Amino acid sequence: MPYRICKTFEIESGHMLSKHPANCKFPHGHSRTVELVLRADTLDNNEMVCDYKVLKTLLADFLDTLDHAMCMNTDDPQFEAMQTQYGARIVAFQKEDPTTEVLARYIYEFCKEALADYARANDGVYHLREAVALERVRVSETSSSWAEYCA
């Protein structure tokens, strides 16, 4: 059975769901928890799947782009005005609503690529073996609801 580790991050994130029939189509925010689960069949020379510092290093800047930002569908009628007003604090999702499910996939895809690049480079103080796999990303919307993405 493989080993698993989880690293949790917290961000404040807003979104607008233009396809939603009720209040979620209006700007609103969530205190989100982002959980990354990694696995490996064996431990490294330090008896770890990987050092948590690798995850923090790789994801800090990326998660900062979502923190205190508004995620929006590029098809939303208010998208251009919001982007003009708030610039980089508007995170564009091409022709899809940034639901929690979509955010989980978005974060997963970034993390998977970032981890692979880091493992291939393997030139940091904290090493990451290519055998370490990103198993899933779970993003909470509230204390009682979350969405998860895994490939």
pLDDT tens for each residue of 45-89:
999 999 999 999 999 999 999 999 999 999 999 999 999 999 999
> 151: Cβ–Cβ under 8 A, 6 or more apart, which residues?
108, 112
Domain-wise residue ranges, the chain: 3-69+99-149
Cα(120)–Cα(141) distance, integer angstroms: 33
- Inter-helix orientation angle 100-121/52-66, to 10°: 140
Is 26 within 8 Å of 18 (Cβ atoms)? no
Sign (positive or negative) of CA dihedral 80, 84, 86, 91: positive
Q: What are phi and psi of 78, to 5 degrees?
A: -95, 0
Per-residue pLDDT tens over the stretch 112-135: 999 999 999 977 788 899 999 999
CATH tag, 3-69+99-149: 3.30.479.10
**Looking at residue 125, what is its pLDDT?**
82
Question: Mean pLDDT, to the nearest integer, of 16-22?
Answer: 96
pTM recorded for the entire structure:
0.95
The CB-side HSE value for 55 (13 A sphere, CA atoms) comes to 21
